[in-house]
A and B are shown apart, each in its own frame.
Chain A
């Protein structure tokens, strides 16, 4: 459905994304997760034919986003980070315009407007001026706009940003409903959001894909293991074996002759036992420190950015 190969985009000399490759199948709900500035919006803009890529290719339903962008644009619905609303229009007027510009046949425009009004629960504000609506309603109008032409693919850039917790829950529900009929790419810097809606996650960091995994895979690797580095002064041959023999240790990798990367189960106090072992065998500890896993680091990054404690708590690890 969506196939992205080696996509790169430079803003001047600065790369926004570097060689991104991924695939999204029909009916999937995929989350783009990453801190601000990771390249989420840039990738989405390229998929929506708003920006051309510097190199690499992206195909949507078999059409190249650059060569056959008109076809691609018929297949996608896009909700940018700031919903593209005209504040002086009424909700219905705006949705009619969106339908017409997205080339919904004239006879079907009214039906399309009614359909999205109902889906996004906007009937009560249909005649109101968009500029006077609350942020939550505006966001829903933005979402309504993106699906007015019943596109196969919905690309939603941070659809819950700036909403209050109740509105966030509403929007999430709405997206979960939509997921039954559309292929959705969703971006967020909020982990719990992704965990609730998406089945697969693409983690972007500094313009590169840090990980692509199913949620189960991510959370299990996140919760079950931690890694630390042991550096010793007196290197001996059997260090690796001895370390591996410890309880709870999953793997030991010798990075250099005197430096070992130990992966062990979470909270198993392995660090203490490694230290004790090092002392007993007089390996001479030069350094023993926890290395946060790259994923974990990113997650930390991400979760620290959300300032809604309740959301974070019930989100992580579920």
Chain B
């Protein structure tokens, strides 16, 4: 574990010492803020209307109409952004030949992989936390329920973990960062929309496809429900991507 942290620390250093983190975070925050305030504007417009026609204000609340859609949009934004953060992790080590330093050091491959994952995950968490100023804004103006907000953050981070896992995996496949980013993006998007195929599939198959979809497991978190099966799904997903990464890197040495 200490070794994983050494690797993570080094990667974090390179995120913060290069423009990558700042550019990516800025882009993320600008886009997310834009979406958030669009949603908020729409909501206030609606509530003004509802005030004018009395009796229509039933069902208008911040949680359902602002916070939930904003988290949905955050998940999509992260899907686009995270591959850019993860693409370096192994591809760059291989390209610049620094990978041999890691391999000839007395650390396990799994520690290296976990360290890389940890570094990306820390950066993503930081990004998500920075974006919470929007929610802070809401807390000042209105009275949204806190519970669903917390579970939504938990859900978002778990989902982001899956993106990061897929990103690290994609990065282990190649020494080209662009290819790593494209593969990561493709995989993430595919795992997001895989549920769509459920409509055309048979009932049992449909259920499986639904279950596999990343976004399906998000719903309950956004409603404020922490279902262990969702947590298990995300954690298994992350573990599986890291396991595949391990397989790829291990088998690479034998080729």
Chain A interface residues (CB < 8 Å from chain B): 11-12, 45, 48-52, 70-71, 73-74, 76, 78, 80-89, 93, 97-98, 100-103, 145
Contacts and interface: CB of A to CB of B under 8 A. Distances in A.
Contacts of B190: none
Interface residues of B, number: 25
A85 B17 contact: no
A73 B106 CA distance: 5
B7 A89 contact: no
Given A80-B97, A82-B97, 15 more contacts: A48-B100, A50-B253, A51-B253, A78-B100, A78-B101, A86-B14, A88-B14, A88-B17, A89-B13, A89-B14, A93-B13, A97-B9, A101-B105, A102-B106, A103-B107
Interface of A is mostly: loop
Given A89-B13, A89-B17, A97-B6, A103 B106 contact: yes
A50 B103 contact: yes
B227 to A, nearest CB: 39
Nearest to B5: A100
Closest 6 CB pairs of A and B: A84-B101, A82-B97, A73-B106, A84-B98, A48-B104, A100-B6
B254 interface: yes
Given A11-B255, A86-B96, A101 B102 contact: yes
Given A11-B255, A84-B99, A101-B7, A49 B14 contact: no
B131 interface: no
A102 B104 CA distance: 9
Contacts of A88: 14, 17-18
Contacts of B104: 48-50, 73, 76, 78
Given A48-B104, A101-B3, A87 B96 contact: yes
Contacts of B97: 80-84
Contacts of A78: 100-101, 104
A132 to B, nearest CB: 13
A155 B104 CA distance: 11
Contacts of B17: 88-89
A85 B97 CA distance: 8
A269 to B, nearest CB: 52
B10 interface: yes
